[in-house]
Chains A and B, each alone.
Chain A
């Protein structure tokens, strides 16, 4: 028996309200080169939605690292600077110190922030810089073809941990949000995910609270976002969300960790 698909190439003919556009107003294009099933574009979209909804797009400066996600620098209609791998928190510090009214954020992957740039992020958090640092964590260097990072989980296969990450050879992953949560200068710390509609909605709230923390000058804010990378994880595309829930979140529990504003 056959069901009839409905026409989806035009808006409904009956009276209706558009409840969600393709892309948020700050997004200049819907085209991107990221893999099918990649979680980064969902995180990009949440960021742009939050900036508009908080009304801070005309104060926002993003400091973007190196990875598959770097394209957000070109795609978002906000002031931006693309910077050296790992160094975004330092650049963001300089920017925020001379433009204290700007809302300054970093957008970095786990390879950029937790691996190359561990020094910079921890020191920025310790200094309590009034910036918002965002880590898109998929546990792999996706842009360079899938090597291990500081957040690759035990058992995860990558090009540099072909049999799966194991402690004797490769040590342990770094749960960065939890680590930053222990630093006094960090005023808002959360870890979210984008593997289903519920986690997406929760992550959006985390991002909003992080920016509110910056706007209140309450200190350093940090949101880690678990994103899918089925290509880097060497799993079927549609299995990405389950890998996040069933594997990734075991090492990186999703929750708000700390909030100075309550």
Chain B
């Protein structure tokens, strides 16, 4: 395996193009902007198109159009811009047009936005949250595969750490297996043949060839996501065997947590870490199993407690879940503040464990 030192935005770009992404559209907004700039530099050279859109709404609809034409397409922003894209993401979920949304988030972990969805209807967005640039490369390619497999918009939850950090990566195309033919994509060639295609979230169908109609289509989409939930959850544990305490975290927070877990283990604390890799589908069965014998479950997030809800829903006894971390941004409002540091995490965990021990005795 040949690795190159690359900045995250460039690594993601290379990884995407290597699995056939040929359209990218975006509106500048930090920390997503380096990804847009990287795509602008590379796409044209590799036979693709990068559009500097005039709004996030325009960007996501351009990606939807490119994807409707059968191309592997991507778009993105940070959470604030993803907020504008919610209608189009829901529309793509309901009319089953696949593309990858790159959320390069600011100093806040917007778990709710990608798992609860801000659009309308019964849809979910498969969301992968890499812990570092190496995982972001793998997830980028896996997401194009999942999008095409399930005909749905999907999300990479990155952030400024992923976008800006340099790591040694291998962005060569990984093979995740075959994807279904895009027998729904539009190229215009079926006009006048009686077999012309129609993409519509209401699935009305062409006159004489009715589709499922709204009720049928929306039930089909809801059922599809139930099926995805049963098969696509991913997670990782670290030093979690025989752990009395389990810390659950996600995304770029996790390497910091893992570092502290390793330190505490060396100090004799029976602590382990659990990390959902898919925010949706959340690995609830794996988390329930991992927490069954734990005395306490701590979440550490850079927000006021969002993944916390799904952790409480997953563990058998929700009362053993305690939320740590919190809102923490720097002076610019763009980057994480003091709570994303091994010192802060260690303090929070030792205090929480001490409180737990005191309550027990």
Q: Taking beta carbons and an 8 Å cutoff, which residues of A are in contact with B?
A: 25-26, 28-29, 51-52, 56-61, 63, 73-84, 87, 90-99, 101-104, 119-120, 123
A79, B190: Cβ atoms closer than 8 Å? yes
A61 vs B69: C-alpha distance in the bound complex, in angstroms?
10
Q: Which of these, A80, A84, A87, A97, contacts B196 with CB under 8 Å? A: A80
A77, B61: Cβ atoms closer than 8 Å? no
A76 vs B73: C-alpha distance in the bound complex, in angstroms?
27
Q: Taking beta carbons and an 8 Å cutoff, which residues of B are in contact with A?
A: 22-23, 25, 49, 51, 53-55, 57-59, 61-71, 73, 87-88, 91, 95, 186-194, 196-202, 204-208
B188 to chain A: closest residue by CB: A102
B196, A79: Cβ atoms closer than 8 Å? yes
Q: How far is the CB of B91 from chain A (nearest CB, A)?
A: 6
Q: Known: A58-B193, A120-B58. Is A74-B198 also a contact (CB below 8 A)? A: yes
B61, A91: Cβ atoms closer than 8 Å? yes
Q: How far is the CB of B44 from chain A (nearest CB, A)?
A: 11
B191, A90: Cβ atoms closer than 8 Å? no
Q: How far is the CB of B56 from chain A (nearest CB, A)?
A: 11
A98, B22: Cβ atoms closer than 8 Å? yes
Q: Known: A25-B192, A52-B192. Is A97-B49 also a contact (CB below 8 A)? A: yes
A99, B207: Cβ atoms closer than 8 Å? no
B194, A79: Cβ atoms closer than 8 Å? no
A84, B191: Cβ atoms closer than 8 Å? no
Q: Known: A81-B199, A97-B49. Is A91-B54 also a contact (CB below 8 A)? A: no
> Which residues of A have CB within 8 Å of B192?
25-26, 52, 57-58, 77-78
A82, B199: Cβ atoms closer than 8 Å? yes
Q: Which of these, B23, B188, B194, contacts A94 with CB under 8 Å? A: B23
Q: Known: A80-B198, A84-B87, A95-B66. Is A90-B207 also a contact (CB below 8 A)? A: no
10 A-B pairs closest in CB distance:
A94-B65, A91-B65, A90-B61, A94-B66, A78-B191, A102-B188, A57-B191, A28-B207, A57-B192, A94-B62
A29 vs B208: C-alpha distance in the bound complex, in angstroms?
8
A93, B204: Cβ atoms closer than 8 Å? no
Q: How far is the CB of A230 from chain B (nearest CB, A)?
A: 25
> Which residues of A have CB within 8 Å of B197?
79-80
A123 vs B186: C-alpha distance in the bound complex, in angstroms?
23
Q: Which of these, A28, A74, A79, A87, contacts B186 with CB under 8 Å? A: A79
> Which residues of B have CB within 8 Å of A98?
22-23, 49, 66, 69-71, 73
> Which residues of B have CB within 8 Å of A75?
206-207
A97 to chain B: closest residue by CB: B49
Q: How far is the CB of A231 from chain B (nearest CB, A)?
A: 22
B69, A95: Cβ atoms closer than 8 Å? yes
A99 to chain B: closest residue by CB: B69
> Which residues of B have CB within 8 Å of A93?
51, 62, 65
B191, A87: Cβ atoms closer than 8 Å? no
A119, B65: Cβ atoms closer than 8 Å? no
B208, A95: Cβ atoms closer than 8 Å? no
> Which residues of B have CB within 8 Å of A77?
191-194, 196, 206
Q: List 23 A-B contacts (CB under 8 A).
A: A28-B206, A28-B208, A61-B69, A61-B187, A75-B206, A77-B196, A79-B191, A80-B197, A80-B199, A81-B65, A82-B198, A83-B64, A84-B87, A90-B57, A90-B58, A93-B51, A94-B64, A98-B73, A99-B186, A99-B187, A120-B61, A123-B54, A123-B58
B49, A51: Cβ atoms closer than 8 Å? no
A119, B58: Cβ atoms closer than 8 Å? yes
B198, A73: Cβ atoms closer than 8 Å? yes
- Additional A-B contact list (15), CB under 8 Å, known A74-B198, A98-B23: A56-B191, A59-B188, A60-B191, A73-B200, A77-B191, A79-B187, A79-B191, A79-B196, A81-B200, A82-B200, A90-B65, A94-B65, A98-B70, A98-B71, A102-B187
B23 to chain A: closest residue by CB: A98
Q: How far is the CB of B168 from chain A (nearest CB, A)?
A: 33
B211 to chain A: closest residue by CB: A74
> Which residues of A have CB within 8 Å of B55?
119
> Which residues of A have CB within 8 Å of B187?
61, 79, 99, 102
> Which residues of B have CB within 8 Å of A60?
188, 191
Q: How far is the CB of A111 from chain B (nearest CB, A)?
A: 16
Q: Known: A77-B196, A81-B200, A123-B58. Is A94-B68 also a contact (CB below 8 A)? A: yes
B206 to chain A: closest residue by CB: A74
> Chain B CB within 10 Å — which of A29, A57, A81, A96 has the most?
A81
Q: How far is the CB of B249 from chain A (nearest CB, A)?
A: 36
Q: Known: A94-B67, A98-B22. Is A51-B61 also a contact (CB below 8 A)? A: no
> Which residues of A have CB within 8 Å of B202?
82
